[in-house]
Chains A and B, each alone.
Chain A
């Protein structure tokens, strides 16, 4: 899946606010109080960009197939 995006949550920064779960429930869930991506590689979708750009602590990163940072921009 070379065109897929890679979604990561930095567990050291995440505060478990759950904003991403509210914004992109198909892509994130809370586990022991911290956000984790449901799938690490996803089809390109605005939902994960919304979540990454709205995370209050910028714990979420979205990268393209070439590892370029897509969000937060």
Chain B
């Protein structure tokens, strides 16, 4: 191993390089599946890299998120991670999750598919009317998820320029100063707080109103702050990730022309292809949200002591050669694909079905309607975001 035994490695292991995963993950899976790492901030932590171990860390109730509260949690940002639903265990977590889960079920999301198709078609119409080159990030990947989440939550689309800017606070590490992050979060919470008050005065038929009503009926079960934080989280997380993944997926397809040609000939396989892209693209620059052991537990042949934190790497688990044949190869037709790109356990992405649907419709329509789609600049000229917890393109000029 390249490091001295017993010394924690810096994590992430290297600065993000486009969508490439550091080869050290594969080496660790082979020889040191549980290893000590140190993130830019917070206490030293174990890192699990094998699929089975990551699932244990995320899925076993003996690993707690609630126990992170009050600890110097390992993290990529100077700010302490704020409580909220991601720092809770059942049954407190269940209480909040249930409040919003209904709005994101597979069935509810299917009802949004026709409208999503319409939005996608309108965006492509506008791209075609403007003519190439067009920045896919600004004119396709950004407005699509924002419009869908606005309509789902009942948030005015006209306010997108405000809350989209503020939402960067939840994915920023160093792209914003700590003061800016605080200011953006204050703005976002203030904005949502106002929407909450509006619904108290004039009830509407949307998830935010359902949350307000649940809060008002059971004032002992939910605090006002919990409702506002949760709604803000839905709005921000409900689009930032998909805004980033749409160009990532388009980039991977356009740089794997043989795979893309196969998919164009097999449009019915788009859902399978989206699952493979979820597996293959390491969205996070690093995994975080450490789980704290509530008792001594063996993971990857190492005894994790009660009270010690462990991070499970989703990106590494999704490349585990004992689960996925030829894991570093993009195989859009991959049949057996139990990836954990949306996480695992009680904190499994609430919006997974929504994201899947948007990615299926968005990517599927894009490659069908624009058969000559290509990146309009030489690949090395593409600019990638930095100072964020996610990997993604800052701009993606395309032509067709």
Proximity string of chain A (1-31) to chain B, C-beta cutoff 8 Å, 1 when within and 0 when not: 0000000000000011111011101000010
Alpha-carbon distance between A53 and B172 when the two chains are bound, in angstroms: 32
Tell me how many residue pairs across A and B have CB atoms closer than 8 Å.
Answer: 65
Partner of B344, one of A17, A50, A53, A55: A17
Contacting pair A58 B345 (CB below 8 A): no
The one of A16, A21, A23, A53 that contacts B102, using a Cβ cutoff of 8 Å: A53
B259, CB-defined interface residue at 8 Å: no
Q: Is A50 in contact with B345, judged by CB distance below 8 angstroms? A: no
Minimum C-beta distance from A29 to chain B (A) = 11
Near A by CB (< 8 A), chain B positions 336-362 give 338, 342-346, 348-350, 352-353
State the CA gap A73–B353 with chains docked (Å). 17
Contact status B105-A22, CB under 8 Å: no
Closest CB of chain A to B357's CB: distance in Å?
A: 13
Q: How far is the CA of A54 from the CA of B105 in the complex (A)?
A: 8
Judge whether A57 and B90 touch: CB under 8 Å. no
CA distance A22 to B343 in the complex (A): 14
In the bound assembly, the distance between CA atoms of A22 and B338 in angstroms comes to 19
Please tell me if the beta carbons of A30 and B59 are within 8 angstroms of each other in the complex: yes
* Cβ A22 vs Cβ B90 within 8 A: yes
Query: Is A44's beta carbon under 8 Å from chain B?
Result: no
Q: Smallest CB–CB gap between A56 and chain B, Å?
A: 5
CB-defined contacts of A64 to chain B, threshold 8 Å: none
- Chain A CB within 10 Å, residue with most, of B59, B104, B343, B349: B59
Closest Cβ neighbor of A51 among chain B residues? B94
B345 and A18 contacting across the interface, CB-CB below 8 Å? yes
Q: B59–A54 contact, CB under 8 A?
A: no
In the bound complex, residues from chain A placing their C-beta under 8 Å from that of B350 are 56
- Contacts of B101 on A, CB cut-off 8 Å? 53-54
Q: A17, B345: Cβ atoms under 8 Å?
A: yes
In angstroms, Cα B345 to Cα A16, docked, is 8
Q: Quick check: B338 and A16 within 8 Å, CB to CB? A: yes
The contact of B105 among A18, A21, A53, by CB within 8 Å, is: A53
CA A60 to CA B123, docked complex, whole Å? 36
Q: How far is the CB of B53 from chain A (nearest CB, A)?
A: 14
With both beta carbons as reference points, the residue of chain A lying nearest to B104 in the complex is identified as A56
Complex CA gap A57/B104 in Å reads 10
**Contact present for A22 and B346 (CB under 8 Å):** yes
Closest residue of chain B to A19 (Cβ to Cβ) is B346
Please give the number of chain A residues whose Cβ is less than 8 angstroms from any Cβ of chain B in the complex. Answer: 20
Cα A54 to Cα B104 with chains together (Å): 9
B98: CB under 8 A from chain A? yes
- Contact mask for chain A residues 44-73; partner B; CB cutoff 8 A; 1 contact, 0 none: 000000100111111000000000000011
Query: In this assembly, does B107 line the interface, its C-beta being within 8 Å of a C-beta of chain A?
Result: yes
> Which residue of B55, B98, B104 is within 8 Å of A50 (Cβ)?
B98
A10 to chain B, nearest CB (A): 11
A21 to chain B, nearest CB (A): 7
Q: CA A15 – CA B105 in complex, angstroms?
A: 14
Q: Say yes or no for B234: interface residue by CB 8 A criterion.
A: no
Q: Mark B23-34, 1 if CB is under 8 A from A, else 0.
A: 000000000000
Across the interface, A56 reaches (CB within 8 A) one of B59, B90, B338, B342, namely B342
Cα–Cα distance between A73 and B103 once the two chains are bound (Å)? 11
Contact B98 A18 (CB under 8 A): no
Q: Are A72 and B94 in contact (CB under 8 A)?
A: no
B162 in contact (CB, < 8 A): no
Check A25 against B338 for contact (C-beta < 8 Å): no
Given known A-B contacts A19-B346, A22-B346, A72-B105, A57 and B98 have beta carbons under 8 A apart: no
Quote the shortest CB–CB distance from B356 to chain A (angstroms): 10
* Nearest Cβ on chain A to B70's Cβ, whole angstroms: 22
- B345 x A22 contact (CB < 8 A): yes
Bound Cα distance A15, B341 (Å): 12
User: Most chain-B Cβ atoms within 10 A of its Cβ — which of A15, A17, A33, A73?
Assistant: A17
Asked if B97 and A54 sit within 8 Å, CB to CB, the answer is: yes
State the Cβ distance, A49 to closest chain B Cβ, in Å.
8
In angstroms, Cα B55 to Cα A18, docked, is 9
Residues of A contacting B346 with CB < 8 Å? 18-19, 22-23
B260 touches A (CB below 8 Å):
no
Assuming A19-B346, A33-B338, is B106 touching A54 (CB within 8 A)? no
Distance (Å) between the CB of B88 and the closest chain A CB? 11
Closest 6 CB pairs of A and B: A22-B346, A18-B59, A54-B101, A17-B348, A58-B106, A23-B94
